[in-house]
Chain A
Amino acid sequence: MVETGKRIAPYVFISPFLILFAIFGIFPILYSITISFFKWTLAGPQDFRGIQNYISLLTTDPFFIGSLKTTFILLVFGSLLQHVFAIPLAIVLNDQKVKGRGFFKVMYFLPYITSTVVIALVFNQLYEQNYGWFNFIIENWLGLEGVKWVQNPGAIKASIAIMVNWRFIGWNTIIYLAGLQSIDKVLYEAAEIDGATGFRKHWHVTVPLLLPIIFFAVSMSIIGGMQLFEEPFVLMKGYETMGGPSNAGLTSAYYLLGTGFNFNRFGKASAIAWILFAIIMAMTWMNKVVTDRLQR
């Protein structure tokens, strides 16, 4: 009796996902695969293209490959860099001795809930080359020449990376903190009895136990980073600029949306989405392999 229950239970528990997916998930996927084989505009399908969209994106398209490079750079310096800050911050906050932990948690979470309107205002103010605060500090306190934050192609990438880091370091810190707090205290005590303290304790006990969470958080960053759109779009002010000078801020998702909503080529945009999908799956799989190996 118990055995049957135990056998069918997981299926019952997972069924809502499967049902909802069957109803709401499948049609959009079919739709999007289908239109990627066409030239598809607001007037509907214009031309059957087969895999032509995919091929031209990967070979002759002047923007796609560049957008992939931009996306990767921002992935590393924007989305992945956060974890280097977030994990230590979480460990520090987790320590019993830190007072006002609640206060810090709230403050660190603020960037995630600050509205896009305000973020646009503030960062445009910071990055403004003649009157902005960053250049003010750089020119007056450091005596260097101001950076063209939103005009110089290299600086643009840095500007976006800064925005992304700002927005999500706190978010990841909270996730890690929650993860740390669900680790059984007994395990810490066992390690301490065995003589591990401080940094070693963290390295040998905390981090390995945190691995499922790290895998999760890093996967989320990879997926999110490869789909980065909001920050570059807001900084570069819309589809028309195509990421600004030398398309410096043009991530693949930005190009995807521009191709669909601005250039009216939904088929091509879908093809971009599926190419990105393949890349993201490959990267997530690699992440899993690495994490599994580390877990041994």
Chain B
Amino acid sequence: MDQKSSSLGRFGGKTILYAILMVFVFIFGFPFYYMFVLSTVPGTEVYRNPPHIFFKSSFFTNISALFDDIPFAINFFNSFGIATLATVTVIFFCTMGGFALAKYDFKWKKPIFVLMLSTMAIPPFLNIIPFFKMMIFFQWYGTWLPLIVPGMANAFGIILMTQFMQSSIPDALMDAARIDGLTEFGILTRIAFPLSRSGIAVLGIMTFINSWNNFLGALVMLPNINSTTLPVALSKLFMQMDGDRGGLMAGTVLAVVPLIFVFIAFNKQIISGLAAGSVKG
């Protein structure tokens, strides 16, 4: 802890810095806060103008209306299950792929990298049509598989892990491990995975959130209210004439809470510094 001249000192004082940080907190956090407020407002008042900015008391009424409208627990379970499986598989396969690109040199490395980059450059919007056709052909329609399997080793994840691993795993460490008799796979699991915690955390968070929020995919692949995910189930309530706007807002809030928990959980993994036992001389 002997950081003498803090870089903060240069910028004229901590107070200003904290002030700036807090301004951003307000900007970024306000719509979120507003969402919570709306979930406590009775359904008929959601579209009022001027809008409510303080909490009201209808949260539990809204929640019970919501639970009458949709099988919330089931939808939640589906969303959570799909997102978790997607995240776990993606972390495993993409870290593996990223490790190959970051730490090895091999003949097809460059073409494969270019191939990956190009798969990301294709605007994905229309792909849903042939993709859907394939899923019917494989008879995966109505299952969780379309939402998990095709994306397991996706280009984005691999390239992200590659970038993170390049700066965080010393070659010397790998060589030392080989001398100690570790197989390449062993290096992957015992050294690469632990040292890439930051990248894994980022990838994990993103994958979980993207999977959770994937609306069109779930809508097209899952046939009915008991099999579908939470965002799709909630969309039922959206803009209905007689619809339960209060319930929709309450549902939206509940739908976002797990994301926050996941974020906080992964956040702890983004630690600074190298693992203990780095190479000394």
Contact = CB atoms under 8 A, between A and B. Distances in A.
> Does a CB–CB distance below 8 Å link A and B in the complex?
yes
A14 B231 CA distance: 33
Name the residue in B7, B123, B154 with the highest tally of chain A Cβ atoms < 10 Å from its Cβ.
B123
Contacts of B201: 178
A232 to B, nearest CB: 14
Nearest to A185: B273
B202 A213 contact: no
Given A17-B116, A112-B209, A260 B164 contact: no
B105 to A, nearest CB: 8
Interface string B1-13: 1010111111000
A184 interface: yes
Contacts of A121: 34, 38
Contacts of B51: 125
A119 B213 CA distance: 14
Given A28-B130, A95-B8, A212-B163, A284 B121 contact: yes
B198 interface: yes
Given A10-B104, A16-B152, A113 B260 contact: yes
B250 interface: no
B123 A181 contact: no
Contacts, number: 254
Contacts of B168: 182-184
A29 B248 contact: no
A208 to B, nearest CB: 10
A212 B149 contact: no
Nearest to A11: B106
B274 to A, nearest CB: 6
B270 A181 contact: yes
Contact of B158 (A17, A106, A223): A17
A145 to B, nearest CB: 21
Interface in B181-205: 183-185, 188, 196, 198-199, 201-202, 205
Interface stretch (B22-30, B57-65, B67-75): B22-30
B123 A276 contact: yes
A178 B270 contact: yes
A65 interface: no
A209 B167 contact: yes
A158 interface: no
Interface in B234-281: 234, 238, 248, 252, 255-256, 259-260, 263-264, 267, 270-274
Nearest to B238: A117
B31 A2 contact: no
B238 A213 contact: no
B209 A16 contact: no
A183 B199 CA distance: 12
Interface in A119-133: 119, 121-123, 125, 131
Contacts of A177: 270
A56 B75 CA distance: 46
A273 interface: yes
A234 interface: no
B17 interface: yes
B21 A256 contact: no
A7 B126 contact: no
A209 B164 CA distance: 11
Contact of A213 (B30, B109, B119, B164): B164
B120 A223 contact: yes
A95 to B, nearest CB: 6
A114 B35 contact: yes
Contact of A21 (B108, B119, B252): B119
A10 B109 contact: yes
Given A97-B14, A212-B166, A117 B252 contact: yes
A97 B117 contact: no
11 contacts: A11-B100, A14-B101, A20-B152, A95-B8, A108-B25, A181-B273, A182-B164, A182-B198, A183-B168, A213-B164, A260-B126
Given A107-B24, A125-B51, 9 more contacts: A11-B108, A14-B96, A25-B150, A91-B7, A110-B32, A118-B35, A169-B28, A179-B163, A215-B163
